[in-house]
Amino acid sequence: MSKEPRRNVYVGHRYVPKIMGEWDKSISYEGLSIVTYKGGSYTSKKRVPVGIDIKDTEFWAMTGNYNAQVEEYRKEVRDMQDNVTNQLDENNKLIEQVGTELNKKLSSIGLIANDKSKDKENLEKLINAFDKYNILVVDDHYYLDTDDRIYTDNNINLVGFGNGTLEFTGKGSKIVLSNQKLVQLRNLKIKGGKNPSNKDGQNTRIFTTDQDNPNSRIDKFIVENCTFENSIELLWVRGAYNTQGTNETTGVNTLIFNNNTVLNNNLRARFISFNNASYKNVWITNNNINNFDYVFFRASDFNDPDSEIDGISLSDTRENLHVHNNVVINDDDWWHVGGISGYHAFIIVKSKNVFYNNNHVEGLHRKDDGSVYDAYLSCDYVEYTNNTWKNNICFNDDPSRLDTNTLFRAKSSGIKICKNNNFIVEKEYAEKFNESLENLRVVLYDFMNSSTVDYFIFKDNLVDCYGLQCTTARTGRIKQVIFDNNIFKANDIHYPLVKNTTELNYDYEKYGKIIITNNTITAKSEMEYRGVSRRFRLLESTEAPDSIDHNKDMYFNEITISNNIVNAPITFIARHPKAVNLNVINNQINIPETTIQSFKFIYESFIKGNDIVKDNFLNSNRRIGNVYLMEMNGNIYHENKGKGFLFQGSTDLPFPRMKIDPNNNELNYEKTYFLKVF
């Protein structure tokens, strides 16, 4: 703004929450002070005198116990990282024993190197050797194959030396595992058959578990410092199909896939998969993956995913998935071929907890009716931090598909943390393939209608995308949501940044919060996708106002929208907000040179307590038909104690318009259309 107007001085209670640290009974607190106590957070309802106990509900409301939960999860990560380091140290000590009586080179036990005609004989000798030796050293290039699957319950420990290579020449499953204490591959090159078109759906599957043995469980499966080339399915852990229950006994306790390289793997399945099987801890870390098809890691259910025994579902038996420091890039000429899978993704998982940190996923692309993700995380606890998501696109021309590209997909209830990530979609990515720019549209986040998320924080992220659809009609319900300090850049933008609905069995009036603060949003135009325009706004309740029963529907305890800068065609700051307390403070709205019919700061609000609307600024270089400051239904409880807005621009009305019933407050305004008090 070019000139700061005269502003009235606000006198009254605090309207921006203040973080105060650990609670101290010996000091007093202002209203809206946030303190911590025994892992929980509490917010003062009003001014708190010295000596008032934290459990006194007249003065304090418990507003979250998530800090303790997050710290507990992170402690589990640290403990597991120590376990992984210790395990790998033990493995290195074993390798030093090569050359002893229990550790043999493959050449010394009868395998023939560099002779493809010996592939079946070689694999049979290798399987038999697992019964005799602790470690087998792959000291040359060996071809392996079998006409039928070979079963073994012996431990497997293969270590590469020099140019140690295992090349599987045929298709289908090779080795069936059952109750091994250890399966380990280190320092190996493993090759599958070349299948550039992959039309017959056949791959080289190296390991699978015994589906017919309901107690088949591997203790440790470790792969480190290996290179995989061509069409290989490394591991398929599978339980029984078409059965109720958890299959808790089928699976792997610990799987480590660390510091490996995977090249040109256009298999028609998954590189690692758990189907109707469980795990305790899976680590996929420090890997380089260049050109893969379908899904790299998948833990899913073919049985009813909601099937339970004694209240435990299959996904409850999968505990922790850790995905860290991986670089995943598909080249421009590497297309997902379509066909048997609706997904093309690095990770798809259904489990308790996932820690997905510091990964770079780029260039996953397809052209059909499927979907593309870096990670599809159906977990109770999701920590997604410090990642780069770049140009992962399904070029889909079907106008009925509105969700083929999603930046943050995390179905299921629980806690979702999305921090410090870069999400990038470049205009040039469509142009290089001669694809429509409309196909670059991405959805910001999606939790599905079936999910109720307890806590969602989206903080310190950069979203730089050509076309951004913030939410969908099925985004899902969120009990507490925070959007803080993000930067959004787009050519086109639409749909509300935050959608909120409520459900029964949760005290929204005590705990529910929506916080949208310190975000910068820049877009040139309102997105028109497939000829349909969907308006952008910061917040919208998905329930129509005339459907709300105020004796039954729940209000969020707090809705705060403050310190945001919006340089985009926006039609509302908040539409249908339902809250005990509403704070709309110090937002700057700059509407670009596009014509919008009208602008409403707050439209049809439902406020049980107080609202504070203060120091907001609207600027438009083009004429706006109507500017509404606040429009409310007349049959609601509403007490307004704020100051108003500075409007600078041109409108069809002589001043910004406030529509309120039943209170027809007098409007005082100046030449710049500053609404002082209402």
Per-residue model confidence (pLDDT) at position 68: 55
Per-residue model confidence (pLDDT) at position 543: 55
Per-residue model confidence (pLDDT) at position 646: 54
Residue 542: band (very low, low, confident or very high) from pLDDT cuts 50, 70, 90: low
CATH dotted code for 18-64: 2.10.10.20
Strands (E) across 97-181 are located at: 103-105, 135-138, 141-144, 150-152, 156-160, 165-168, 172-177
> What is the bridge-based pairing of β-strands 422-424 and 388-390?
parallel
Per residue in 613-647, pLDDT (tens digit) is 777 777 766 555 555 555 544 333 333 433 445 55
Mean pLDDT of 385-413: 83
Q: In the predicted model, what is the mean pLDDT of the chain?
A: 77
Q: How far is CA 508 from CA 40, 393, 488, in A?
A: 17, 37, 29
For residue 550, the 8-state DSSP code is: T
Per-residue model confidence (pLDDT) at position 135: 92
Per-residue model confidence (pLDDT) at position 329: 94
Per-residue model confidence (pLDDT) at position 659: 39
Per-residue model confidence (pLDDT) at position 75: 59
Per-residue model confidence (pLDDT) at position 89: 60
Whether the predicted pLDDT of 13 surpasses 60: no
Tell me the residue type at 198.
N
Other residues' Cβ atoms within 10 Å of the Cβ of residue 268: 19
Residue 19: band (very low, low, confident or very high) from pLDDT cuts 50, 70, 90: low
Question: Which position has the token pair 């409309």?
Answer: 438
Per-residue model confidence (pLDDT) at position 77: 55
Mean pLDDT of 15-27: 72
**Chain length of the chain:** 678
DSSP string, 510-569: HH-EEEEES-EEEEEEE-EETTEE--EEEEEESS-GGG--TTTSPPEEEEEEES-EEES-
> What is the bridge-based pairing of β-strands 565-567 and 371-385?
unpaired
Whether the predicted pLDDT of 495 surpasses 50: yes
Residue 155: band (very low, low, confident or very high) from pLDDT cuts 50, 70, 90: very high
Per residue in 553-580, pLDDT (tens digit) is 578 888 999 999 999 888 888 888 888 8
Strands (E) across 536-615 are located at: 536-541, 556-562, 565-567, 570-575, 578-585, 588-591, 598-603, 606-607, 610-614
8 A C-beta contact, residue 211 and residue 240: yes
Distance of CA 137 to the CA centre of its chain: 41
As given in the structure block, the two tokens for residue 459 are 């903080």
Find the distance separating the first CA and the last CA of the chain, reported in whole Å. 22
Per residue in 42-66, pLDDT (tens digit) is 778 778 898 899 888 888 877 655 5
Per-residue model confidence (pLDDT) at position 446: 87
Per-residue model confidence (pLDDT) at position 612: 74
Check residues 542 and 148 and name the one with the higher pLDDT: 148
Domain boundaries, the chain: 18-64, 66-394
Check residues 76 and 665 and name the one with the higher pLDDT: 76
Per-residue model confidence (pLDDT) at position 545: 46
Whole-number Å distance between alpha carbons of 531 and 502? 31
DSSP SS3 for 66:
helix
3-state secondary structure 409-443: ECCCCEEEEEECCEEECCHHHHHCCCCCHHHHEEE
Instruction: Please report which helix (H) or strand (E) contains residue 493, including its range.
Output: strand 487-494
For residue 459, the 8-state DSSP code is: E
Per-residue model confidence (pLDDT) at position 257: 96
Per residue in 239-290, pLDDT (tens digit) is 765 444 455 678 899 999 999 999 988 776 789 999 888 899 999 999 999 9
Whether the predicted pLDDT of 607 surpasses 50: yes
